[in-house]
């Protein structure tokens, strides 16, 4: 890789790297006192912007890899990259001791509601308005939901009803079982997606051809090899990992000072990491490539649950922290309603505007209920 031309093209890498170095050295002092509104705004805006733009850069290079590798491998790289950001942000917050015991639960629930309702609804609505009906591979969507539904219920609902540990938590043995089950099911799913049934996750042949791929490589990325793109992806990912624990401080401070719901922290983490991928999914639907939207959005939910649960439960063991997983009654109602509506939405190989509107309505109900229970 030619260093100087690459640095000119990837100039933001210097910004993200410099910000990471600055906060590693001075972050503790800068974030010690956030009582002044102007200083708080500066710190939060700086961190949020760098993390968000770094996440967009990760997605950009992951999309270039997707073009070179094809489906479903390309989408899988993008999903794992974004989910990796989320898992590492939550883990960093927990390891620095600045999080709360329900952060992982709130973040996973937010991912489910944002992806399955907000972004699925938005994609289906815009795609339906433009193309009336869109097609995708029904077998692939059903495979996603077949794993998402049991893992979501076991991790976010079941802890409310177990008796071996107090509150909405799991005992040590139950936690170990859930870790093994989450990783095992996801491993089986990946083996099916990559090797045995790749065709489930590819778009069916349609009489209406898709538009030119919106994620086509830029002229710079086109000449780069897979290994070079992967290296750039990792280099943009590192600042996100480093700054994840730092941004938790202003988020926690804002929630405390504004007396906002504690669930807002998980929502902000999810919005931060899902924004680039959500934009990719919507653009794919607008380009009549609904299969890619389905792979991205359902893949994000599955990867988030399957990878976040083992990570946070393991950290709970290591740090001797209590991990709250069970949702309250309102959250359980929204989750089960979302899973049920998703089953109906993906029961037919063609989608339309009505299905998008229903999912968007559920997303708005979720947003309203964050602030007004």
Residue 138, domain extent: 3-371
What SS3 state is found at 239?
helix
pLDDT > 90 fraction of the chain, expressed in percent and rounded: 33
pLDDT at 73: 64
**Residue 320 maps to which CATH number?**
1.20.1420.30
Q: Sorting pLDDT into bands at 50, 70 and 90, what band is 353? A: very high
**11, pLDDT greater than 80:** yes
Q: Is the pLDDT of residue 248 over 50?
A: yes
| pLDDT tens, position by position, 59-112 | 777 777 767 766 666 667 767 777 777 777 777 666 655 556 787 888 889 989
Based on the structure, what is the number of domains in the chain?
1
Mean pLDDT to the nearest integer, 193-202: 83
Q: What is the pLDDT of residue 214?
A: 44
Q: What's the DSSP call for residue 71?
A: T
361-368 long-range contacts (CB < 8 A, ≥24 apart) are 361/121, 362/113, 362/117, 362/121, 362/334, 362/337, 362/338, 363/113, 363/114, 363/117, 363/118, 363/121, 365/334, 366/113, 366/117, 366/334
Q: Let me know: does 157 contact 332? Beta carbons within 8 Å.
A: yes
The reported pTM is: 0.83
């Amino acid at each position: 890789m030619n260093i100087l031309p690459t640095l000119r093209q990837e100039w933001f890498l210097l910004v993200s790297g410099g910000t990471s170095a600055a906060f590693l050295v001075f972050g503790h002092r800068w974030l010690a006192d956030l009582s002044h509104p102007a200083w708080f705004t500066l710190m939060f805006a700086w961190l949020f912007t760098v993390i968000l733009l770094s996440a967009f850069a990760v997605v950009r290079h992951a999309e270039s890899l997707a073009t070179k590798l094809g489906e479903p491998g390309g989408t899988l790289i993008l999903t794992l990259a974004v989910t990796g950001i989320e898992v590492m942000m939550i883990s960093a917050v927990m390891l620095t001791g600045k999080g709360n015991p329900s952060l992982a639960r709130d973040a996973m629930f937010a991912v489910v509601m944002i992806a399955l309702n907000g972004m699925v609804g938005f994609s289906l609505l815009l795609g339906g308005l433009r193309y009336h009906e869109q097609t995708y591979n029904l077998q692939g969507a059903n495979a996603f939901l077949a794993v998402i539904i049991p893992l979501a219920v076991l991790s976010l609902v079941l802890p409310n009803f177990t008796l071996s540990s107090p509150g909405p938590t799991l005992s040590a043995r139950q936690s170990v079982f859930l870790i093994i089950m989450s990783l095992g099911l996801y491993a089986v799913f990946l083996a099916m997606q990559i090797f045995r049934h790749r065709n489930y996750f590819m778009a069916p042949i349609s009489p209406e051809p898709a538009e030119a791929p919106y994620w086509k490589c830029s002229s710079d990325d086109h000449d780069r090899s897979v290994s070079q793109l992967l290296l750039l992806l990792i280099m943009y990912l590192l600042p996100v990992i480093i700054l994840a624990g730092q941004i938790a401080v202003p988020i926690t401070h804002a929630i405390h000072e504004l007396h906002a719901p504690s669930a807002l922290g998980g929502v902000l983490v999810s919005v931060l990491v899902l924004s680039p991928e959500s934009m990719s999914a919507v653009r794919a639907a607008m380009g009549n490539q609904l299969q890619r939207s389905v792979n991205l959005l359902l893949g994000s939910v599955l990867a988030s649950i399957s990878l976040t649960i083992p990570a946070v439960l393991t950290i709970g063991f290591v740090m001797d922290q209590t991990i709250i997983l069970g949702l309250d009654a309102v959250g359980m109602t929204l989750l089960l309603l979302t899973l049920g509506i998703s089953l109906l939405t993906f029961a037919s190989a063609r989608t339309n505007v009505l299905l998008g509107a229903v999912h968007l309505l559920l997303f708005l109900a979720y947003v309203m209920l964050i602030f007004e229970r």
